Amino acid sequence: MSFASLGLSAPLLKAIQDQGYTKPTPIQKQSIPVILSQKDVLAGAQTGTGKTAGFTLPLLEMLSQNKRSGHSVRALILTPTRELAAQVGESVATYGKYLPFRSSVIFGGVSINPQIKQLQAGIDIVIATPGRLLDHMGQKTIDLKNIEFLILDEADRMLDMGFINDIKKILAVLPKKRQNLLFSATFSDDIKRLADSLLNAPALIEVAKRNTTSNNIKQTVHPVDRERKKELLVHLIKEGDWKQILVFTRTKHGANKLMAQLEKDGITAAAIHGNKSQNARTKALADFKSGEIRVLVATDIAARGIDIDQLPHVVNFELPNVPEDYVHRIGRTGRAGNGGEAISLVCIDEHDYLKNIEKLIKQEIEKTTIKEFTPDPFIKAEPIQQRSNQRNNRNRPKSATRR
Ligand code: AMP
């Protein structure tokens, strides 16, 4: 099946060709015709499935089919993180390069004034994180009353990050008549509730099964003692001669500590988490992509929306306490048809976390003990500290929400 047969016109087909895509991915095959038929959509898709093009291409097509004069914003794409907003913004620019639309990416952590200037000049498509968008709404520097399309990308993560009230405030100012698209990797009851309140007789699109992981990803658990995880990680990286590894920790502190330890062992590493400035995060990601650093240590929040093609190795240095995060984490590998490896270093403290994850993904993960790292049977389980800087509080007060 070709992109042309999905109903996209020449300027988009040319941009797709420039990208070197020859055929649509499964989510694109499903989403593009449905969105072009003006239906609301509820889509279950992880990063790596081509979901961004899956909504951006038909959005651009619809906007170009129904030209409108005037200055106000026509499409609003909400994302949970700045990184994802930036990446979606890049996709809109890339796919829309032969179309006349103007887009703007709006997120916090950077000066608001250039954003205001862009908005004043007239913007068709806004890609925003909820917090900064609300700031603009408060300052009346954005007009959303003519929105024709609302897209929530990684909606599950937005809810996890405590954005539900922000989303409600944004929804309240949008015109009733509009097309809504909701993309989410997992489907909790909260997401279902949001979908019910937001979507009008939506078409359901699912590529990977709900809360399941891709078959392209080889998942392995290496049992190991708590204090020997770092040593094992270094062993795996050196033995396997791994070049590009995304490593997850549960906490910001843990990320910093691990990064320092890896550097000491001569493995180039950077850490990204919510305490890092936007510039530091952007630089770390760029260095990781270019191969200048070998390991990127990330917390769950910071890793959202990281877009790296064919990431070969994802390591759970610590298992997440929210099982859905496991699905998100390992979705960073085995992308767009390429194989990938997801390795979890699991100590005795984490056996319950592992059980919950296996229950969620309905699959037992293969356990391989590495001989030199066989766990000491005399070590007892200890409770895992729930640190205050973890993202495990769905009812976090608004003041704590990162913008
Ligand atoms: P996403 O799931 O939107 O994060 O996309 C994952 C990656 O797949 C991105 O780097 C896209 O550039 C790439 N991609 C999207 N659509 C296609 C396609 N039809 N063929 C090949 N690669 C694609």
Exposed, middle or buried, 257 (CB in 10 Å: 0-12/13-18/19+)? middle
8 A C-beta contact, residue 235 and residue 73: no
Cβ count near 114 (within 10 Å): 10
CATH number of this structure's domain 4-206, picked from the four choices 3.40.50.1220, 3.40.50.970, 3.40.50.80, 3.40.50.300:
3.40.50.300
CA of 194 to the centre of ligand 1 (A): 27
8 A C-beta contact, residue 70 and residue 146: yes
What pLDDT is recorded for position 306?
A: 63
Residues of the chain with CATH 3.40.50.300: 4-206, 217-373
Strand partners for 19: none
Q: How far is CA 212 from CA 17, 186, 188, 225, in A?
A: 31, 9, 13, 28
Strand residue runs (E) in 213-353: 217-223, 245-248, 269-272, 295-298, 313-316, 340-346
Q: What is the DSSP string of 351-371?
A: HHHHHHHHHHHTSPPEE---G
Look at residues 146, 117, 142 and name the one whose alpha carbon lies nearest to residue 132.
Answer: 142
Ligand 1 touching residue 336 (CB < 6 A)? yes
What pLDDT is recorded for position 208?
A: 58
Tokens of 159: 């809810």
Q: What's the pTM? A: 0.64
176 — phi, psi (to 5°)?
A: -65, -40
CA–CA separation, 319 and 56 (whole Å): 33
Identify the residue whose C-alpha is closest to ligand 1 atom 8: 50
CA of 182 to the centre of ligand 1 (A): 18
Ligand 1 touching residue 1 (CB < 6 A)? no
CA–CA separation, 232 and 403 (whole Å): 36
H helix or E strand, kind and range, residue 285? helix 278-290
Identify the residue whose C-alpha is closest to ligand 1 atom 14: 50
8 A C-beta contact, residue 135 and residue 108: yes
- Give the nearest ligand 1 atom to 23 CA: 19
DSSP state of 183: E
Which overall architecture, per CATH, does domain 217-373 show? 3-Layer(aba) Sandwich (3.40)
What pLDDT is recorded for position 393?
A: 39
8 A C-beta contact, residue 191 and residue 159: yes
134 — phi, psi (to 5°)?
A: -65, -35
CA of 170 to the centre of ligand 1 (A): 29
Helices and strands, number each (H, E), in the chain: 15, 14
What pLDDT is recorded for position 392?
A: 40
Identify the residue whose C-alpha is closest to ligand 1 atom 20: 21
8 A C-beta contact, residue 186 and residue 327: yes
What pLDDT is recorded for position 161?
A: 87
What pLDDT is recorded for position 327?
A: 87
CA of 46 to the centre of ligand 1 (A): 11
8 A C-beta contact, residue 344 and residue 319: yes
Residues whose CB is less than 8 angstroms from the CB of residue 388 and which lie 6 or more positions away in sequence, other chains included: none
Crossing angle for the helix pair 164-173 and 130-138, to the nearest 10 degrees: 40
8 A C-beta contact, residue 312 and residue 197: no
H helix or E strand, kind and range, residue 2? none
Identify the residue whose C-alpha is closest to ligand 1 atom 12: 50
Ligand 1 touching residue 21 (CB < 6 A)? yes
Ligand 1 touching residue 31 (CB < 6 A)? no
Ligand 1 touching residue 334 (CB < 6 A)? no
Identify the residue whose C-alpha is closest to ligand 1 atom 21: 21
What pLDDT is recorded for position 285?
A: 87
Strand partners for 346: 223
CA of 336 to the centre of ligand 1 (A): 6
Q: How far is CA 179 from the centre of its chain?
A: 22
Ligand 1 touching residue 51 (CB < 6 A)? yes
CA–CA separation, 158 and 151 (whole Å): 12
8 A C-beta contact, residue 261 and residue 283: no
CA–CA separation, 394 and 403 (whole Å): 16
Crossing angle for the helix pair 113-121 and 130-138, to the nearest 10 degrees: 70
What pLDDT is recorded for position 67?
A: 80
- Give the nearest ligand 1 atom to 87 CA: 4
Best substitution site from 306, 307, 310, 311 to test ligand 1's pocket, by max atoms within 8 Å of Cβ? 307
8 A C-beta contact, residue 7 and residue 32: yes
pLDDT by residue, tens only, the chain of 403 residues:
899 999 999 999 999 999 998 899 989 999 999 999 999 999 998 777 889 999 999 999 999 998 877 778 999 999 999 989 999 999 999 999 999 999 999 999 999 999 999 999 999 999 999 999 999 999 999 999 999 999 999 999 899 888 999 999 999 999 999 999 999 988 888 899 999 999 999 999 987 544 556 667 889 999 999 999 999 999 999 999 999 999 999 999 999 999 999 999 999 999 988 787 778 888 888 899 889 999 999 988 777 656 665 688 999 999 999 898 898 888 777 655 567 899 999 999 999 999 999 998 888 999 999 999 999 999 999 988 765 444 443 333 333 333 3
Tokens of 278: 């936007």
